[in-house]
Amino acid sequence: MFGSGVAVGSRISDGSVPEWPMGSGCKPDGLAYGGSNPSWPTKVNPAIMGIDHVQLCVGDSKKYGVTDRGERSFVGRVNTWARAVRHTYERVATRFESGVELLEHRYTPLGWFTPGPFEGWGFLWQPAVLGFLALTSILAGVSFTNSPFKLNMANTWFFGEPSASQVGTPSVTKYIVSVVLVWGGLLLLMRVWLRLAEVMKLHAGASLKKLWWILALWSVPMIVAPPLFSRDVFSYAAQGEMTSYHLSPYLYGPFTLGSSPYVPPVDQLWINSPAPYGPFFLFLDGAIDRITAHHELWTVLGLRLLEVIAVAMIGYGVTILAKGLGRDPGEAFLLSAMNPLVLLTLVGGAHNDAIMAGFLVIGLGLAVQRHPVWALFFCSLATAIKAPAAIGLAFVAWTWLGPQATLKQKIRPFAIGGAVAAATLLVTSYLAGFGFGWINNLLSNGTVRSWAAPATAVGMALGNLIHAVGLQSISITSVLSVTRFIGFSAAVAFSLWLLWHSEKRGWVRSLGLSLILFVELGAVVQPWYLAWGLVVLAASYQGREHFWLLLLSITGPFIGLPGGRQLLAGLVHSNPLLIAIAVAILGGVLLLPMGRWTQWSWPEKELLVTDVSA
DSSP annotation string for 529-596: GGHHHHHHHTTT--TTHHHHHHHHHHHGGGTT-TTHHHHHHHHHTS-HHHHHHHHHHHHHHHHS---G
CB of 477 within 8 A of CB of 460?
no
Q: How far apart are CA 257 and CA 296, in angstroms?
A: 12
Please state the rounded mean pLDDT for residues 101-113.
62
Q: What is the pLDDT of residue 603?
A: 73
Tens digit of pLDDT for each residue in 274-319? Answer: 888 999 999 999 999 999 999 999 999 999 999 999 999 999 999 9
Among candidates 356, 366, 374, 279, which has minimal Cα distance to 311? 356
- Note the pLDDT tens digit of each residue in 411-435: 898 999 999 999 999 999 999 888 8
- Check if the beta carbon of residue 349 is closer than 8 Å to that of residue 228: yes
The share of the chain scoring above pLDDT 70, in percent, equals 77
Contact 381, 425 (CB under 8 A): no
Dist. CA 6–CA 29, nearest whole Å: 20
- How far apart CA 112 and CA 325 sit, in angstroms, is 37
20-60 pLDDT tens trace: 333 333 333 333 323 333 333 333 443 434 434 333 344 44
Q: Give the CA dihedral 503, 504, 505, 511, nearest 10 degrees.
A: -20
- What whole-number distance in Å separates Cα of residue 224 and Cα of residue 231? 16
**Does the predicted TM-score (pTM) go above 0.85?**
no
Angle between helices 454-468 and 476-500 (to 10 degrees): 150
Beta bridge partners of 38: 33
CA distance 51 to 325: 40
Q: Are strands 30-31 and 37-38 parallel, antiparallel or unpaired?
A: unpaired
Rg, C-alpha atoms of the chain: 26
- Higher-scoring residue by pLDDT: 335, 593: 335
For residue 127, what are the CA distances in angstroms to 111, 191, 195, 581?
Answer: 18, 10, 9, 25
CA angle 252, 257, 258 (to 5 degrees): 120
User: When comparing pLDDT for 270 and 125, which is higher?
Assistant: 125
Kindly tell me if the per-residue pLDDT of 67 is higher than 90.
no
pLDDT in the model for residue 55: 39
Most distant CA pair in the chain: distance in Å?
89
Q: What is the mean pLDDT of the chain?
A: 80
Write out pLDDT tens, residues 553-566.
998 888 767 655 66
Give the pLDDT band (50/70/90) at residue 467. Answer: confident
Mean pLDDT along residues 601-608: 59
**What is the predicted pLDDT for the residue at 56?**
38
Nearest to 182 by CA among 219, 144, 224: 144
Residue 109 has pLDDT above 70, yes or no: no
